[in-house]
Amino acid sequence: MSEPSSKDTVLKTAMIYVCGECHHENEMRPRDPIRCRECGYRIMYKKRTKRLIVFDAR
C-alpha cells in the first residue's frame, strides 16, 4: 500500500465554519457550496484557530 500524498490530504481536509444565522458548525471542503446545512444561510464565518498567533507590534 502506498502512503497518501500531500496533494490528496489537502483535497480531503475540511475546515470548520460557523453559520452567521443559526451558529451551527459546518465542515466544508474546497469546492463545496457555501451554504449552512441546517438553515441554508449563505454567510459563514471561519472558526478561530487553536494555534498561537503572535504579532510583533512596534
2 part of a folded domain: no
Q: Return the pLDDT at 4.
A: 59
pLDDT in tens, 29-50: 999 999 999 999 999 999 988 8
Positive/negative CA dihedral, 22, 42, 33, 50: negative
Residue 19 is classified by DSSP as E
Average pLDDT of the chain to the nearest whole number: 86
Q: Which domain holds residue 24?
A: 16-46
Q: Return the pLDDT at 50.
A: 86
29 part of a folded domain: yes
* pTM of full prediction above 0.85: no
**What is the tally of structural domains in the chain?**
1
pLDDT of 23 above 90: yes
42 part of a folded domain: yes
CATH number, position 21: 2.20.28.30
Query: pLDDT: is 8 or 48 the higher one?
Result: 48
20 part of a folded domain: yes
Nearest CA among 4, 43, 6 for reference residue 21 = 43
7 part of a folded domain: no
